[in-house]
Structures are given as structure tokens and as C-alpha cells.
Amino acid sequence: MFDFATPASGIVISAREASHHFALYLEQASQGKTFTVLKHGKPMAKLVPIRPEGQALRTLKEQAAFDKKIAKALSFRFSKPYAGKFNRQDAYEDI
């Protein structure tokens, strides 16, 4: 197989390789890898994952809100010493 890694564009493959082993490259792309397809030595296409493995698509605003919730959850974990049974509601602010 013809493929070699380049930092800027992921894995580079020939159009022939992409055609002959498409299912393999599709599976690897679904796992987060990016491929650049060359035709006669020139980049012609990219095969990229829709989203990285285990990560939902979020807008920047949604990601910021998510990060804030994670930081709050982690700070709660370390702010109170363990003193018996944990109550899930203790982790949430009263609304």
C-alpha cells in the first residue's frame, strides 16, 4: 500500500489506493484519521471524519457552556471533603 504520514495533511494515499481499499480508509476515517487523496502526485480530495471519535458536534458557545459545567463538576469534587454518602443533587445549584 502507498501511504505515508505528513503532519499537515494527515495520511496521504494515491487515488488508486483509495479506490481499491476504500472500505479500509472509510473505517479509519470514522476512527478520526484524515486522508489526502493524490492523483498524479497532486492533492485532489480529502477523506475526513464527520466528527472525532466520541465527540459530539457543538458550536463554540455550546462547547464553552459544556466546559464550564465540567469545570464546576470537577471543582465540586475537590471542594468538599468526602463525608459519607454522596447525594447527586449536591452537585447542582438550586434554580
Predicted local confidence at residue 3, as pLDDT: 42
Q: Can you give the residue ranges of every domain in the chain? A: 3-47
Predicted local confidence at residue 43, as pLDDT: 93
- Say yes or no to pLDDT of 15 above 80: yes
- Say yes or no to pLDDT of 7 above 50: no
3-47 CATH fold:
YefM-like fold (3.40.1620)
Mean pLDDT of 29-50: 89
- Say yes or no to pLDDT of 10 above 50: yes
Query: Over the stretch 42-77, which tens digit does the pLDDT of each residue have?
Result: 999 999 888 655 566 667 788 788 888 888 777 765
Between residues 59 and 21, the one the model is more confident about? 21
Grid cell listed for 91? 452537585
Predicted local confidence at residue 52, as pLDDT: 56
Q: How far apart are CA 42 and CA 84, in angstroms?
A: 64
* CA torsion, ordered 23, 26, 32, 38, to nearest 10 deg: 110
